[in-house]
A and B are shown apart, each in its own frame.
Chain A
Amino acid sequence: MRDLERREPARRKVLVAKLGLDGHDRGAKVITMALRDAGFRVVYMGVHQSPEDLVRTALEEDVEAIGISILSGSHEELVSDLIRLARGRGLDVPVIVGGVIPPEDVQKLKEMGVFEVLLPGTPLAKVVEVFKKALGEEG
């Protein structure tokens, strides 16, 4: 068990956004609602966000994790640029990626530094659990 007393009070503030030009926002919205119901504070950025937009907002809002959704197949380049930009500006929070991602790309994304990749059909309970884990909340 973690020593709860020595932890800072949990802010549980995360960012959810659609990275790139893809407009499919059903998943991002549903996950935003699920995280809020689970007690998270979610900054929802909506569609058409560039890596720059995302990093800027993440820094301004001081979030503890970033969830991004991509269904257009451009995840490799977008996520790679996002992480490079974030690390360059000293933003070192876990990044969680969801969407239409071929299973063979999951490992590649993790090697870039992605905390977890969530494929279609992932239960909301699992999504919430992954965000909690990203914030160091479990066990």
Chain B
Amino acid sequence: MSGLEELKRRLEEWEREVVAPLLKKFPERKRAFLTEEGLEVGRLYTPRDLEKWDYVEKLGFPGAYPFTRGIYATMYRGRPWTIRQYAGYGSAEDTNERYRYLLGIGQTGLSMAFDLPTQLGYDPDHPLAWYEVGKVGVSMPAVTEMDMVFRDIPMDKISTSMTINATAIEVLSMYIAVAESRGVPRAVLDGTTQNDILKEYIARNNYIYPPEPSMRYSVDLILYAAREMPKWNAISISGYHMEEAGATPAMEIAFTFADAVEYVRWARERGKLDVDAFAPKLTFFFAARTNLFEQVAKFRAARRMWAKIMRDWFGARDPRSMVLRFHTQTAGVLLTAQQPMVNIIRTSLQALAAVLGGTQSLHVNSYDEALSLPTEESVKLSIRVQQVLLYESGVADTVDPLGGSYYVEWLTDQIEERAWKYLEEIEKMGGMLRAVKLGYPQREIARAAYEWQLKVEKGEVPIIGVNVFTEPEIPKVKVLKVDPAARERVVGRLRQLRESRDQVRVRTALDNLRRAAEREDVSIFEPIFEAVKAGATLGEVSGVLREVWGEWRAPEVF
């Protein structure tokens, strides 16, 4: 009798003789246990759940195809994840101070948050911008502000991630210009531009232009980085915001890969390049929720899928093109305003999921973020969570510690299967660009968000402090308020810049930019860089592109 047959016999015996009598006396606490994806979780997982499962095919070894267990052979034993808290608010001075504080308490990389006017291509004195200056990130209208943010921060040593999309080239240009003015060439700059416009249409809503010119803009940055900036990650293709908008774990990774596939196709076509010439520039960004095992499964499934997509769909040969390098942020939507200290426990579990899932860098949300931007005190705790995981818990001491768990492997396969189905669905529609215009991912995500909320209402999804174990009052916690004078400071300096710069040079640069935007066969990167370097403001550069390309109005989703 084979091992599996023997197992089957013993399992049935156990169910009959041990489980059944027990259930009569002590029924289980729910009729069905479901994951957030809606998968039904079994009572016990054994080798029977992995009957046709092959170790070498499904997992292999870390650092080698299909990379399920991790992208590096030694993972955190050799290379800890980067502790990278998303930060920035007010004016350049406020943000510089926050960055130096974060680096001082053990952060190992920077992650720049920009305010909404910067993300949407408006100068701070534009009427639509006025209300929002410095509120959710730093105001960044010109190269002079970037210089102040990086005062006393070594740009040749620190890696900087920038959450910037519709104006990514403008902002990266400022970063390069400042670094080069300090003698740091662009070739040594290390960091990431998010530069993922597709997910803006799907979930995040910080888009400016219609999808086609926006794709060209994004791809021109990717191709530029492939030529000139060997250490720069040109794009961070993001599922995080889709999860925040309501996507299930399988949707999150499938829609992200559908976006990625679109960028790869465009870059290959536009750059007339082999995929291996630019694919190593692509990085990813996912969310970590509290549902621990399903999240770990999601990350593992994602690595395996991406390797397969790159190798089999695009014929990549360089392993660096196949590895899924990703940043993780704990899920902001799971923070509660009620009993906010409980959020520290949630984010610790979420961070654990990210680490067990093999993330390359991590942001842990702060407990007060359902109420306002985090204070110095709350963000310090977020960094400490990461340090406890890295230095005290031992979870970073071996590669993929959950690999081989019957349950986690089963879940990994299930999530992967569902994600492939979504991906195929989008392929059938003609790819993500088309699906976005049809409103398909937007609708799927909104539907999932509403279904989730209805489950919360019914108590099927318990949330401590919200629908169970509630307390009458939301406690007063110290919140961060952006200094109203920040806006005056930025606008004052901007007006000065507009007067003092070489006007002829700026006008010429903007004219060149307009001509480049009107054609399709030239890169938009260099003309933007020249304009920014000459002292053109972000609003002026985006203004030219708005005139040539127009603005996007979202399709009526409902």
Contact mask B124-168 → A, CB, 8 Å, 1/0? 000111111001100000000000000000000000000000000
B463 touches A104 (CB 8 A): no
A26 touches B245 (CB 8 A): yes
Residues of A within 8 A of B122 (CB): 21
B135 touches A23 (CB 8 A): no
Given contacts A26-B449, A30-B450, contact A44 B558 (CB under 8 A): yes
B337 touches A119 (CB 8 A): yes
Give Cα A104 to B479, complex, Å.
9
A29 adjacent to chain B (CB < 8 Å): yes
Give Cα A73 to B368, complex, Å.
13
Residues of B within 8 A of A39 (CB): none
B204 touches A119 (CB 8 A): no
B371 touches A103 (CB 8 A): yes
A124 adjacent to chain B (CB < 8 Å): yes
A30 touches B449 (CB 8 A): yes
A67 adjacent to chain B (CB < 8 Å): no
Interface residues in A, total, Cβ within 8 A: 34
Chain B interface category by residue count: 35 or more
A77 touches B476 (CB 8 A): no
How would you classify the secondary structure of chain B's contact residues: helix, strand, loop or mixed?
A: loop
Within 8 Å by CB of A123, from B467, B474, B476, lies B467
The smallest C-beta distance from B198 to any residue of chain A, in angstroms, reads 14
Within 8 Å by CB of B131, from A34, A78, A119, lies A78
The smallest C-beta distance from A44 to any residue of chain B, in angstroms, reads 7
Closest 5 CB pairs of A and B: A23-B205, A21-B116, A74-B131, A73-B135, A121-B466
| Closest chain B residue, CB of each to CB of A75 | B131
Within 8 Å by CB of B558, from A32, A100, A124, lies A32
Give Cα A102 to B333, complex, Å.
16
A100 touches B116 (CB 8 A): no
Give Cα A20 to B135, complex, Å.
12
B131 touches A100 (CB 8 A): no
Give Cα A122 to B274, complex, Å.
51
B414 adjacent to chain A (CB < 8 Å): no
Give Cα A26 to B205, complex, Å.
11
**B132, B200, B335: residue with the most chain A Cβ atoms closer than 10 Å:** B132
* Interface residues of A, Cβ cutoff 8 Å to B: 20-26, 29-30, 32-34, 44, 46-48, 50, 72-74, 77-78, 81, 100-104, 119-121, 123-125
B371 touches A72 (CB 8 A): no
B358 adjacent to chain A (CB < 8 Å): no
- Additional A-B contacts beyond A29-B558, A73-B135 (6; CB < 8 A): A26-B446, A29-B449, A30-B246, A72-B116, A73-B136, A121-B370
Residues of A within 8 A of B206 (CB): 23
Residues of B within 8 A of A25 (CB): 205, 245
B129 touches A21 (CB 8 A): yes
B476 touches A22 (CB 8 A): no
| Closest chain B residue, CB of each to CB of A77 | B131
Residues of B within 8 A of A48 (CB): 120, 128, 205
* Interface residues of B, Cβ cutoff 8 Å to A: 116-117, 120, 122, 127-132, 135-136, 200, 204-206, 244-246, 333, 335-338, 369-373, 446, 449-450, 453-454, 456-457, 463, 465-467, 474, 476, 479, 482, 554, 558
Give Cα A72 to B130, complex, Å.
13
B338 touches A121 (CB 8 A): yes
A21 touches B128 (CB 8 A): yes
A50 touches B479 (CB 8 A): no
B117 touches A21 (CB 8 A): yes
Residues of A within 8 A of B558 (CB): 29, 32-33, 44
Residues of A within 8 A of B120 (CB): 21, 48
Give Cα A44 to B135, complex, Å.
25
Within 8 Å by CB of A23, from B128, B204, B335, B446, lies B204
A103 touches B474 (CB 8 A): yes
A123 touches B205 (CB 8 A): no
A-B contact pairs, 8 of them (CB 8 A): A20-B131, A22-B136, A44-B558, A47-B554, A74-B132, A100-B369, A103-B337, A121-B465
Give Cα A24 to B554, complex, Å.
14
Give Cα A124 to B461, complex, Å.
14
B372 touches A121 (CB 8 A): no
Residues of B within 8 A of A24 (CB): 205, 244
A72 touches B132 (CB 8 A): yes
The smallest C-beta distance from A57 to any residue of chain B, in angstroms, reads 14
Give Cα A26 to B241, complex, Å.
10
A22 touches B453 (CB 8 A): no
A34 touches B453 (CB 8 A): yes
